């Protein structure tokens, strides 16, 4: 999990009532992230590894590391498939 997620610079993100809404202007599709997903999105800075971000999320949310890691891995897979982030 030492890969580094990077946001697609074309994606437009906005906080709407505590949830992050992302727009891919190329596809015209909107994506909604819940509180955990939105916090993950906000922590992506292009330098932090996946495990570093998970450690930061553990400070914000009361959840077991294994559960959070699995949820984030699923989220990342979806974000990559939808071209919202890349992994380096």
Give the chain's domains with CATH numbers.
Answer: 9-87 (1.10.10.1150)
18 pLDDT band, cuts 50/70/90, is: confident
Pick from 50, 49, 22, 46: which is nearest to 34 by CA? 22
The pLDDT tens digits for 34-82 are 999 999 999 999 999 999 999 999 999 999 999 999 999 999 999 999 9
17 pLDDT band, cuts 50/70/90, is: confident
Give this prediction's pTM.
0.92
Is pLDDT at 8 greater than 60 in this prediction?
Answer: yes
**pLDDT for position 53:** 97
Is pLDDT at 1 greater than 60 in this prediction?
Answer: no
Angstrom distance (rounded) from CA 33 to CA 35: 7
DSSP secondary structure of the chain: ----EEE-TT-EEEEETTEEEEEETTTTEEEEE-HHHHHHHHH--SSS-HHHHHHHHHHHS---HHHHHHHHHHHHHHHHHTTSEEE-
- Cβ(19)–Cβ(33) under 8 Å? yes
């Amino acid at each position: 999990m030492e890969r580094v997620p990077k946001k697609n610079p074309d994606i437009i993100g906005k906080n709407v009532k505590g949830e992050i809404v992302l727009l891919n202007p190329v596809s015209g599709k909107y994506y909604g992230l819940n509180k955990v997903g939105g916090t993950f999105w906000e922590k992506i800075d292009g330098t932090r590894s996946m495990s570093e971000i998970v450690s930061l999320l553990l400070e914000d949310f009361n959840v077991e590391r294994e559960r959070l890691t699995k949820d984030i891995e699923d989220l990342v897979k979806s974000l990559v498939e939808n071209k919202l982030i890349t992994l380096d």
